Amino acid sequence: MNPVGDALTGVSNGLREVWASKLRSLLSMSGIILGVAALVAMVGIVQGMLGNMRASFEASGGILKVEVNKRAPPESQQYIAGISPGMTWRDIGAIEKSIYLADFVTPIVDMGWERFVANGRREGAMLKGVTPGFIGIETREIKYGRFISDTDIHLKSPVIVLGSHIVNDVFRGKENVIGEQVQVSGQLYTVIGQLAELPPIGGAANRWGNFENRMNFIPATTAMSRYRGNDTVNEIYLLANSVESLPDLVGQVENTLTQTHRGILDFEIRTQEDRLRELKKLENSFTYSLGGIAAISLLVGGIGIMNVMLASVSERIREIGVRKAIGARSHDIFIQFLAESVAISVVGGLIGLVASVGLLSLAQDFIPQGEMINIVPVTAMLFGFAFSTTVGLLSGIYPAMRAARLDPIEALRYE
């Protein structure tokens, strides 16, 4: 008795049978092919998206970044909410004075979409009022000139730092536009800096480029005085000096702003840990829902295999009788049919993996954010392959048992 030899014999008989009935085998493995291909392709797309979100998270200050946003005060404070001045320039001053755990601070005075005119051309882009701290928080490279300085803030200078989109579109043909004049919604600015162009997310295939290149910056004080007529700001960004100081920094910001807002909690402080947690949550929900879909589609594939294998047993009753008559034991027949089922699922799984890579390559050409796709999601591929093999194994057990239990005399009489 040699269990390994017996198993190999069964597997070789099983494979020979799969090969002998190519069309039937292909049809029975179609469920597995689609299940594995869909699972891997979906995981590839989702992994790519999440990877991209992480990359953008790293580029915008990483784990050390803290964001302060406006929010509605709690219900218990709503009747006195009016006593708070809201988020203002004074908050920046208070934070800079009292908080020593942050390396950089900047307000964001968001002017939204503005019309840029120069050189006889016009183009729409985003305009934001910031302080020098901005360039310490967001990782942006200055290509020519300089970023906004403390003096610009102090003097409310009419200066602007342009992103590559306006430089390329409005000042077409000019490499360096430092010192040029640009009109933004009727206000004239002198260009003092040009930001280096960020590559399109997903490579050259993405015709939308990178949205960050459409951002242009002026001193926060200039934005407030020229456009707002008051000192309100939309957001405040800070960069902690270390990961360890993050909780204390959040506490300090909370204390300071509670004071400047006269006790009204009309702001929220969000750390990147929160964003990371949300990202992780998103990842988990994708994993569970994709896992569920994959499990269902592969189970359907498994039922397909079982159906075909049961039909195959019924079709081959006489053959089973012949095999038993010439010496096959019940477990030889069991292994042969089980091997057929596993072979169908293994081959189906492999075809599914190849199809998934094809689908992902195809999807990359059609999705604007091209490289948001992981072409070879190895873990998902291994999981999909292992799961499909297991499904094949499990769905082959019952038909194989039915085949093995057949009485050789009865089987030989079967017409």
Q: Under the criterion CB under 8 A, does residue 328 sit at the interface with other proteins?
A: yes
Among 80, 325, 354, 362, binds other proteins (CB under 8 A): 325
Which DSSP category does 88 fall into?
B
Shorter beta-carbon distance to other proteins: residue 218 or 347: 347
Residue among 24 and 143 whose Cβ is closer to other proteins: 24
CA gap 80, 103 in Å, rounded: 34
Query: Least distance in Å: CB of 57 to other proteins?
Result: 58
Q: Using the rule CB under 8 A, is 322 a contact of other proteins?
A: yes
CA–CA separation, 12 vs 379, rounded Å? 29
- Comparison of 2 and 76: residue with beta carbon closer to other proteins: 2
Q: Which of 327, 365, 366, 378 binds other proteins (CB under 8 A)?
A: 327
Residues 383/293, Cβ–Cβ less than 8 Å: no
Q: How many other β-carbons are positioned within 10 Å of the β-carbon of residue 19?
A: 11
Which residue in 319, 355, 367, 389 binds other proteins (CB under 8 A)? Answer: 319
How far is C-alpha 348 from the chain's CA centre?
28
Q: Does 326 bind other proteins (CB under 8 A)?
A: yes
Binding positions for other proteins, 331-370, rule CB under 8 A: 332
Bridging pattern class, strands 142-145 and 121-130: unpaired
Does position 11 bind other proteins by CB under 8 A? no
Please list, in sequence order, all residues whose beta carbon lies within 8 angstroms of the beta carbon of residue 291, skipping any fewer than 6 positions away: none
Q: Does 5 contact other proteins by CB under 8 A?
A: yes
Among 17, 180, 266, 340, binds other proteins (CB under 8 A): 17
Q: Which of 318, 350, 383, 389 binds other proteins (CB under 8 A)?
A: 318
What is the spatial distance between Cα 320 and Cα 307, in angstroms, rounded to a whole number? 18
Q: Based on the shown chain and the rule CB under 8 A, indicate whether residue 52 belongs to the binding site for other proteins.
A: no
Residue 411: exposed, middle, or buried by beta-carbon count in 10 A (0-12, 13-18, 19+)? buried
Cβ-proximal residues to 332 (8 Å cutoff; 6+ apart), any chain:
6, 9, 10, 323
- Return the number of the residue (231 or 332) whose C-beta is nearest other proteins: 332
Quick one: which segment of 73-81, 349-357, 395-403, 407-415 binds other proteins (CB under 8 A)?
407-415
Nearest distance, CB of residue 11 and other proteins, angstroms: 12
Nearest Cα residue to 253 out of 86, 100, 74, 85: 100
Site membership for other proteins, residue 21 (CB under 8 A): yes
2 belongs to the binding site for other proteins (CB under 8 A): yes
181 binds other proteins (CB under 8 A): no
Q: Contact between 241 and other proteins (CB under 8 A)? A: no
Which residue, 18 or 170, has its beta carbon nearer to other proteins? 18
Interacting residue with other proteins among 72, 188, 386, 409 (CB under 8 A): 409
Helix residue ranges, H only, 316-377: 317-325, 330-366
Q: Is 24 in the site for other proteins (CB under 8 A)?
A: no
Q: Is 264 exposed, middle or buried (0-12, 13-18, 19+ CB in 10 A)?
A: buried
CA-closest candidate to residue 89, choices 106, 72, 101: 106
CA 96 to chain centre: 35
Shortest Cβ distance from residue 20 to other proteins (Å)?
A: 4
Rounded to a whole number of angstroms, the minimum distance from the CB of residue 408 to other proteins is: 5
91 contributes a contact to other proteins by CB under 8 A = no
CA angle (92, 97, 99) in 5-degree steps: 90
Spell out the residues 6+ positions from residue 125 whose beta carbon is closer than 8 angstroms to its own: 113, 114, 116, 163, 165, 166, 214, 215, 216
Instruction: State the residues that interact with other proteins by CB under 8 A.
Output: 2, 5, 9, 13, 16-17, 20-21, 318-319, 321-330, 332, 408-409, 412
